[in-house]
Amino acid sequence: MVRQLHPLRLLLAGSVLGATLALSGCSAETAAQWGRFGLPEAASDRAPFVGNLWVGAWIASLVVGVFVWGLIVWVMIRYRKRQPDEQPRQTRYNLPLELLYTLVPFLIIGVLFFYTVQAQNGVLAKETTRPVTTINVIGQKWSWTFNYMEASNPAVGAVVHEAGTIDKIPDLYLPVNKPVRFNLASADVIHSFWVPAFYFKLDVIPGRQNSFDITPDKVGVYSGKCAELCGTYHAAMLFTVHVVPEQEYIAYLKSLKANPNNVGEVTPPEYPNVVPTVPAVEGEKK
């Protein structure tokens, strides 16, 4: 006598087999990225705040999803039609169940909101215990300008900058394990400063200076880009981030200083902080 397998067991076995086959063909790097739910390898001290929130949200979503999918499959099997003329029992106005699926989403949203605020506060906290390296960033159509505010640094002794163009991707050099303060300003429209490996981005808004502190903690070369659809050549707003030892960082700034065109700070135009008044039309009520 052949024993018939339960449909739920077949579904579970198929899922496990599929997941095993999918993961067995992955490299160690790909498997590690799966563990981060698609995030790149972190390269800053603020990354754990966003990384933990991201992974936690995915785990919570998967738990809810598995629970709901399990209920769906269970109901399909448990209450399936067994006789040709059988009619399932109809149920309505189940108050406890309706309260459950109304209150549980609010509970989930409340928990996610709590941890989101915690992550936001951690990411935006300013460095207060160590001196910071200040870099004034300007977003302009269609590239970036980086001002290294190193006039008080005896090893450099000047403010130097590097300006990118639509044809030249600029380089941003950062000293490893040294806190950096980025002051962001725009020369025209809204941009967004984003380094994916830092797990952080911040808008660059005309007439307003946004700032954040971050400590790069992993030597390497990383991509940076504009995360705001800012116009025709938005895709060209790229930059390359080099996280290097402090000696190499100083050497790079000295190479910029050797070119007089790179000495001094580039500043964006001033923008009014109020909406301009429109002259009244004759006969119009004031």
Q: What is the pLDDT of residues 255-270, one digit of tens each?
A: 999 999 999 999 988 7
Give the CA diameter of the chain: 98
Q: Which of 28 and 41 is assigned the larger pLDDT? A: 41
Structure tokens at 196: 């994916």
For the chain, give the number of residues: 286
> Whole-model pTM?
0.77
The helix, strand and coil proportions of the chain, stated in percent and rounded to the nearest 5, come to: 40, 25, 40
Query: Would you list the domain boundaries of the chain?
Result: 7-80+93-124, 133-262
pLDDT at 197 over 90: yes
Q: Taking the CA of residue 169 as centre, how many other CA atoms within 13 Å lie in the half-sphere pointing to its CB? A: 14
Q: Determine contact, residues 132/181, Cβ cutoff 8 Å.
A: yes
| CATH homologous superfamily for the domain 133-262 | Cupredoxins -  blue copper proteins (2.60.40.420)
C-alpha of 118 from chain center: 15
Structure tokens at 11: 């579904």
pLDDT at 242 over 70: yes
Q: Which of 31 and 43 is assigned the larger pLDDT? A: 43
Question: CB within 8 A of 57, min separation 6: which ones?
Answer: 112
Q: Determine contact, residues 179/132, Cβ cutoff 8 Å.
A: yes
Give the C-alpha separation, 207 to 185, whole Å. 7
Output the DSSP codes for 193-215. EEEGGGTEEEEE-TT--EEEEE-
The conformation of residue 168, written as its DSSP 8-state character, comes to B
pLDDT for 128: 83
Tokens 């490299």 correspond to 27
Q: End-to-end CA distance of the chain: give it in Å, rounded.
A: 93
Q: Determine contact, residues 226/139, Cβ cutoff 8 Å.
A: yes
Q: Span 166-181, mean pLDDT?
A: 95
Rounded mean pLDDT of the chain? 85
pLDDT at 158 over 80: yes
